[in-house]
Amino acid sequence: MKSKKIVLIFMVILILIIVAGYFGIKYVKEKSETSKLEEYTPEQEITEEQYRQTIVTLYYVDKETSEIKPEARMVDIKDIMESPYEKILNLLLEGPKNENLISVIPQGTKLNKVTLDGNCLNIDFSSEILNFDNNAVNLKDNLINCIVNTVTELTEVNEVKFLVNGESAQEFGLTYTRQ
């Protein structure tokens, strides 16, 4: 009699486990099916214009520390594809958007021409590029490094050569690499 009671209790427990397992598996399946059906809807649709934007990094000098700092800018990828070196250098010449940064490129400096020769970018500036203060500590180095660091963000540029009105200027060395 005692063994029949034990077998009966065992059978009831086994049936309860099977029923609980069945409903547990059914619940998990339903949950996973409903999550598959839900579609993610972004809070804001990406416009065609936003889709064509990319980030470029320009380098300027921090007003307080005089250290070179990066500034990210959103630009239309179409502009970069047509003339990447000119576009990026003209953005650099425009100056920073961040109030804590300053441009060390002399006012009125214009970009005459830019050519890529192998991995060396030849940048021809107007003569205003020479109007920097020679007595200011690190000003010339910061000027060079801001330009070089900006254009060497492009993978094909490893060296930079400065020209003034189409000719080598003794104020600048032969070629520069990223610092």
pLDDT in tens, 73-82: 988 888 788 7
Which of 155, 156, 147 lies closest to 179, judged by CA?
147
48 CB-contact burial (10 Å; exposed 0-12 / middle 13-18 / buried 19+) = exposed
- Sheet of strand 101-102, all strands in order from the earlier edge strand to the far edge: 68-76, 53-62, 101-102
Whole-number percent of the chain with pLDDT over 70:
86
pLDDT bracket for residue 111 (50, 70, 90): very high
Give the pair of three-digit tokens for residue 15. 């049936």
Give the pair of three-digit tokens for residue 132. 């920097």
The SS3 call for residue 54 is strand
pLDDT in tens, 127-157: 998 888 776 778 888 888 999 999 998 889 9
Q: How many residues does the chain have?
A: 179
Separation between Cα atoms, residue 21 and residue 156, nearest integer Å: 62
Separation between Cα atoms, residue 118 and residue 112, nearest integer Å: 20
Phi, psi of 152 (to 5 degrees): -80, 0
Answer yes or no: is pLDDT of 96 > 90.
yes
| CB 93 within 8 Å of CB 109 | yes
Task: Indicate the range of 42-51, 53-62, 169-178 predicted with least confidence.
Answer: 42-51
| CB 160 within 8 Å of CB 123 | yes
The full set of domain ranges for the chain reads 1-35, 48-168
Which amino acid, one-letter code, is at 29?
K
DSSP string, 128-140: GGG-S-TTSTTHH
Q: pLDDT at position 34, please?
A: 59
